Amino acid sequence: MNDRKSASVETEAATPRAADRILDVARDLFYREGIRAIGVDEIVRRAGVTKPSLYRSFSSKDELAASYLKVYEAEFWARFDEAVAAHPGDPRRQIVAFLGGVGERADVEGYRGCGMTNAAVEYPEGDHPARLVSENNKIELRRRLRRMAADMGAADPDTLGDGLLLLIEGVYISGQLFGAGGPAASVAKNADLLIAASLAAR
């Protein structure tokens, strides 16, 4: 009885570790290679687990892809909120600080853009779990940028917010195209110029 109980406890303790390994491997492969390009066989092989272990933790590859994007999104908002907290009450500096970080991350060789943008391109189906995570993130980012543009007194906050969103999305592709030394490195400066022009139009 005690042996069976001990084995059960060990199995329960091992499950989260297996799920974490699967998610870590999937995240790396999905980001670098694309979600559709990677099969579950490759994931379980690299994670050192069995296929049944994967399906005990994630009901499908689609759910695994959505889980990867939820982790990616949580880290995205953590960076965004960190930039906001660093400049309380100053939305202009908050946006410029956030975009400074975006530009730095994009200005390196091997940059693969935004995982959520990439997933939205891979999955045009509106009801796909990965698409839903990506789309909801972009909708919320647009809402926040428009609100911050209004808070700084922009003449047309919705247009400014959308312009900032377009700059961000431009970084994600130009960083992949140009790598280090490309236009992505100047996104914060360009955002500040766009904000200045909007404020001057009041």
What band does 37 get if pLDDT is binned at 50, 70 and 90? very high
How far apart (Å, rounded) are the C-alpha atoms in residues 120 and 180? Answer: 25
CA angle, 115 then 89 then 153, to 5°: 90
What band does 15 get if pLDDT is binned at 50, 70 and 90? low
Same domain as 157, residue 130: yes
Q: What is the mean pLDDT of the chain?
A: 91
Same domain as 67, residue 160: yes
Same domain as 123, residue 25: no
Residue pLDDT, tens place only, 126-138: 999 999 999 999 9
What band does 12 get if pLDDT is binned at 50, 70 and 90? very low
pLDDT score for 201: 83
Same domain as 11, residue 71: no
pLDDT score for 105: 94
Quote the domain boundaries for residue 132: 62-200
Same domain as 75, residue 53: no
Report the number of distinct structural domains present in the chain.
Answer: 2
With a cut of 70, say whether residue 5 has pLDDT above it: no
130 Cβ contact partners less than 8 Å away, ≥ 6 residues apart: 35, 62, 65, 66, 69, 119, 122, 123
Same domain as 156, residue 69: yes
Same domain as 31, residue 90: no
pLDDT score for 9: 41
Q: What is the CATH number of the domain that holds 27?
A: 1.10.10.60
The token pair that represents 78 in the structure block: 């953590």
Percent of the chain beyond pLDDT 70?
92
Q: What is the pTM of this model?
A: 0.88
With a cut of 60, say whether residue 187 has pLDDT above it: yes
Q: What is the CATH number of the domain that holds 186?
A: 1.10.357.10
Same domain as 129, residue 93: yes
Same domain as 141, residue 75: yes
